[in-house]
Structure 1
Amino acid sequence: MTATPTPDTDDTAAAGGFDAGSEFDRQVSVLVGRGYPALAGMADEAFAELLAPLRASAEKRADAMSPPEEGRVPFLVVVTREVVPVEEMVARTALPRRTQPGVIDRHYKEGDIERFVPTKEAEPPAPRAYLLFDVDRGEEFCGAVPNDAMAAIADRGRTPLTMEEGLALVTQFPAALAKNKCFSLGGSRCGDRRVPALWISQNAPKLGWCWEGNPHTWLGMASAAGRAA
């Protein structure tokens, strides 16, 4: 049986290069298809124009990029909560070959989501949209104490992902969220010991949180090399 090419495996990637422009266009198309423009109160064309300036930044780094893998991707288009609410982003995620929409864990109380904002180290380079580079779901940190995982990531000169960034990863690459390979999002904090995380519940993504000192064998720590507007 001949495998059908996926959006991640085009002729350019097969030849050893990477077509960052095509991947950028694909990600914008995914967001438009998930209804992001309407959620932002924008027409499809206006939403695409908001993101269009980021394309050049992605293409500029294409020579250093590798095609996406299951747990690591070269870049993500990230839209912030200033454009689309986090709750709506969650509801527009799904696992591969599943239709159940993502949900928010009941342990988030009213107003909690708004309290989880980027840390100083994970501050977005632009308020509405930007690119995140060399994204890794961090499965090597499964079973590690979240505080220790975040310290190791900082020592490598990398940065933990924020809520919006983790949701962007699952939106664009649903297979990145897998059984026993879920991930925390240490780039968003609210001043207490809680660390946001994405895991699987009832065949759907779930945005929850875990304590910064409690390890879980199925929960790693996602990270990235950097951000650019």
Structure 2
Amino acid sequence: MTATTPRTESVGPPTLPPLAAQAERLATLGVLELAGLDAARVRDAVATVDLPGLLVVDRALAPASALAPLLRLGDRPGFVVEDMTDVDAFAPTEGLDVPDSPVYVVTAPDRGDDLGNWSPEEALPELAARGRSPMLLTEGMHWALQVPEVVERSFCYMTIGSRLRRANGTYDARTPAVWISLGTGRDGRERRGAPKVGWCWWRNRHTWLGFASGVDRVAVPLDA
């Protein structure tokens, strides 16, 4: 895909299953084991939460580099682009309220399709004006783990809640995103059609990338 790829019509992202089903899927995929979480405790905890949304494991327990190979589109596993070896260093931006909890829920997830062809620099204040919070990379990846079809050709998304802070306190110009590989360049032909974790420039626009966001992040308390 390129920045000039025309967008086709989309029916919108698929509906997320209930939290209990999401917990089961994370257990089946091995995410809970990866995070060192007891699946039974997570199941019991989400059963007490009467809240629709996206179930997320904290990035410190389930980093992006470990989640990427678990992504799937058809028979193609996900991957991180070769020039993003520092993917796990992309952290929540200043001002984001991320619960200090192993597991939490992102409410009202939205892919931001209407913001296609906006730059991250332009989209961030617009999301704030709408009362929305940009997703972290790992949140966007959890969404794709639950409903792989959310990563849809011509309707993929950036996750600008995660950025890399330089030693001098400024942000790296890269912003992470999740989209579909065309199997060109260093991706390799065997990865054509695979879900891809990569990056875009802060001031660049791409017609086929929206901006994933939610409204709130709510902790799911796990019993001791």
Q: TM-score, normalised by structure 1?
A: 0.77
Query: Counterpart of 1:165 in 2: which secondary structure?
Result: helix
Identify the residue that residue 212 of structure 1 maps to in structure 2.
202
Q: Does 1:228 align with 2:218?
A: yes
Query: Counterpart of 2:107 in 1: which secondary structure?
Result: strand
- Identify which of 80, 83, 92 aligns with 2:61: 83
State the Cα distance separating 1:51 from its structure 2 match. Answer: 5.6
Contact 2:23–2:42 (CA<8 Å) still a contact in 1? no
Q: Does 1:101 align with 2:77?
A: yes
Higher helix proportion (structure 1 or 2): 1
Structure 1, gaps ≥5 residues long: 1-7, 10-19, 62-73
- Identify which of 194, 214, 222 aligns with 2:174: 194
CA separation in 2, counterparts of 1:153 and 1:188?
A: 15
* Residues 142-194 of structure 1, C-alpha deviations (whole Å, 9 max, x = no match): 11111111110011111000011000110011111101101000100112111
CA separation in 1, counterparts of 2:56 and 2:95?
A: 16
**Counterpart code for 2:140:** G
Let me know the Cα RMSD of the aligned residues.
Answer: 2.0
State the Cα distance separating 1:88 from its structure 2 match. Answer: 1.6
CA separation in 2, counterparts of 1:84 and 1:161?
A: 15
Moved over 4 A (4+): none
Q: TM-score, normalised by structure 2?
A: 0.78
**Residues 50-199 of structure 1 mapped to structure 2, 5 A cutoff:** 50=42, 52-57=44-49, 59=50, 61=51, 74-95=52-73, 98-109=74-85, 112-190=86-164, 191-199=171-179
Residue-pair matches, total: 190
Contact 1:199–1:206 (CA<8 Å) still a contact in 2? yes
Q: Mean alpha-carbon deviation: is it higher for 75-84 or for 191-200?
A: 75-84
Structure 2, gaps ≥5 residues long: 1-13, 165-170, 182-191, 220-224
Sequence identity, in percent? Answer: 34
Q: Does 1:47 align with 2:39?
A: yes
